[in-house]
Structure 1
């Protein structure tokens, strides 16, 4: 039996990768099991870096205006470069539709298995974008997005996924959702978001010395700001809390993907006269962001319900739990699962009074908050570190790729 294999892995993320589910899972964990990757994708503008887990083939740039049109051909060039280095044992594509079809065809020509990794419902994202444009009028842009969404649905659900030997999905909810579309549940493995246990060991994190936090009841949102995520909901919550907890301070440790989203958030803080109760840090290195996190009494994870986010696996709740921060999260399936299994937080609907009430309860009941905080790290170590998730992925490869020895 083979002791190692090479995966030609076409990714949607910019190269070099930044997301932990690529950088840690495939860069650090998979090589422990003899799984090496030839990463194929587009450059994201960051400094070039080596990929110790195999090799990186960055063809084209995501900063190009034509990236959405040219990326499948760039990926094909990258795949050919990877093939020249070593014949892959399988071809895996993540979150790309046209490149997914090319990957399936290439796998068939090479006589190797084809695997698809779905971390986001891309087609449904196109539907949402089409509807957003349509709400402003049905012009040429709406028609273009309508055609893209329709074509993408046919390609992904009728041509790409049916040809995949196995499908990795983001959550159990996503697996159930795809099963309802007719795909066999036995061909899917859920790999939720996890954390690097060492990076999120609270004993290794140095608390931020920011004097603006001194003497305040700090609550935390760790993550991205975006209109699509209804980030202004956080302001609704703190507006409710400040009525009877005048020392409350919401720290939003993160930035927005688009500058106009961050400008919108700052304008909302000003419009509501919440400057004394909201601290927007902007982008921070991870260690600095965690320094703010460990100063917080409560972590917040509101994720809008709907087709896009109900099948997601948010990282922030797991990060709070790993750091021993009692948390309030709303009831998207993966968050509800984590809260139910861990007993380390409170799960409520994404409604202002319900969310503020749960936060208020944790701030006013220190015994409850301490009990929840104690349960989080142990749960994460058992279920949601990348060491644990890496073993699940490696064991899946042994089942779907012939001849690979069991880890």
Structure 2
């Protein structure tokens, strides 16, 4: 396929892992709003299942085949993606084919890109293979008997096949690889992936959405008269979300008027029930408010009533290479923050000077939180620094400019 001219519009056929319509900012904002400003349009391909209302994709087209809520989704997704991709190709011939966080569809994408004679690009926001291996090992520890062994064997086979596919077929065949962080790029480089073929795109925020002046605080009376501490985001056992309750218990002892607001949902009703049991088992019902899923504007309304934001992310292979959104969101809203020392969070804290970075230990988190609650002058300095840093480094208009430049470079080669 002939390379496009520098000023001509570009079209990307983009197979995504997340449910459609997209709700993640690094798809919705980056590709839906920012990329079109630079003449980069996308035809999204994937499965339904999102809680977002159905609406046209403003940056091109959206081809939804199948549902991630189906019990057969893990098996059928590659076939569904093939059908969706065929629909996208009937609409127009892309300048490149990109796959995000899918392994079998990554192999499919590489083959289809070769047939179309267009570049194949891979977007890795999470180490999926290593996630499969963690799940395999969890099953080995927790489940016994014939059923447990069969379940372990199935997950072990998936992890083994996925490792071969991603590291021997998908990544070697990608002209370029977008990764979540510099730490992820370094991690893949240690596995033999050329550093020059990777671009780090950390998580950012929509500057207009996270402008504190435009956010109305919620009128929830349960927050009145309390020293509100916030966790904004998903909860899950894999994220060790009960750590938040260990922090809340220590805060209760030192400052009984504190209230930890966990503004977010769990990936399943079982996980949410687990968290509620943990809260009750610790006797923290009066000191932890678990909201469940909220519309984004409502969640931000809770956020701006908080004095401190918490961002604990477990250390290890899965999360050390991540770029968590919540810390950047806190800073954008002018919320002094306490975060632990995974590489991207440590970098943000050091560069912004808008929070405290401590080990993921309940005592350390509680002490840092109390320091900010008891030192309004220091907390105020942090609150002023956060928005300035985010506007200079982590908004999607800034990130979008770099991503668009990378696409133009890839497609002009």
Decide: shared fold, TM above 0.5: yes
Gaps of 5+ in 1: none
Aligned partners of 1:244, 1:54: CA distance in 2, in Å? 54
Distance in 2 between residues matched to 1:145 and 1:208, nearest whole Å: 44
* Aligned residues of 2:23 and 2:50 also touching (Cα < 8 A): no
CA contact (8 A) 1:45 1:61 kept: no
Among 329, 339, 344, which residue is 2:354 paired with? 344
Provide, for residues 88-132 of structure 1, a one-character-per-residue CA deviation record: whole Å limited to 9, x for no partner: 100000001111111111111111100000001000010011011
Q: How many residues are matched? A: 403
Among residues 22, 32, 36, which one is paired with 1:31 in the alignment? 36
SS at match of 1:242: helix
Structure 1 equivalent of residue 94 of structure 2: 88
Equivalent residue for 2:10, pick from 5, 8, 11: 5
Indicate the residue corresponding to 2:123 in structure 1: 117
Of 40, 48, 54, the residue aligned with 1:43 is: 48
- 2:153 counterpart (143, 151, 169): 143
**Of residues 306, 317, 325 in structure 2, which corresponds to 1:315?**
325
Q: What is the CA deviation profile of residues 321-352 of structure 1, one whole-angstrom value per residue up to 9, with x for unaligned ones? A: 00000000000111001001101000000001
1:105 and 2:111 correspond: yes
Q: Which residue of 2 is the match for residue 197 of structure 1?
A: 207
Give the 3-state SS of the residue equivalent to 1:220 in structure 2.
strand
Aligned counterpart, 1:377: 387
Provide, for residues 337-386 of structure 1, a one-character-per-residue CA deviation record: whole Å limited to 9, x for no partner.
Answer: 10011010000000011111100111111111111111000000011111
**Contact 2:358/2:365 (<8 A) preserved:** yes
Give the TM-score taking structure 2 as reference length. 0.96
Gaps of 5+ in 2: none
* Aligned counterparts of 1:175 and 1:193: Cα–Cα separation in 2: 15
Q: Residue 62 of structure 1: CA displacement?
A: 1.4
Q: Considering only aligned residues, what root-mean-square deviation do their CA atoms show, in Å?
A: 1.1
Give 1:268 deviation, angstroms: 1.2
Task: Give the Cα separation in 1 of the matches to 2:239 and 2:50.
Answer: 25
1:160 aligns with 2:166: no
1:400 aligns to 2:410 (yes or no): yes
1:99–1:294 Cα change, 3 Å: same
- Structure 1: how far apart are the matches of 2:50 and 2:354? 39
* Aligned pairs (5 A) from 1:352-367: 352-367=362-377
Partners in 2 of 1:43 and 1:181 — Cα distance? 34
Change (3 A) 1:311 1:45: closer
**Kept in 1: contact 2:22–2:50 (CA 8 A):** no
* Runs of 4+ with >6 A deviation: none
Contact 2:32 2:59 in 1 (8 A): yes
Residue 74 in structure 1 maps to residue 80 in structure 2: yes
Q: What is the deviation of 1:60?
A: 1.6
State how far apart, in whole Å, the 2-side matches of 1:265 and 1:107 are: 44
Q: Which moved more, 1:40-49 or 1:96-105?
A: 40-49
Separation in 2, partners of 1:246, 1:267? 21
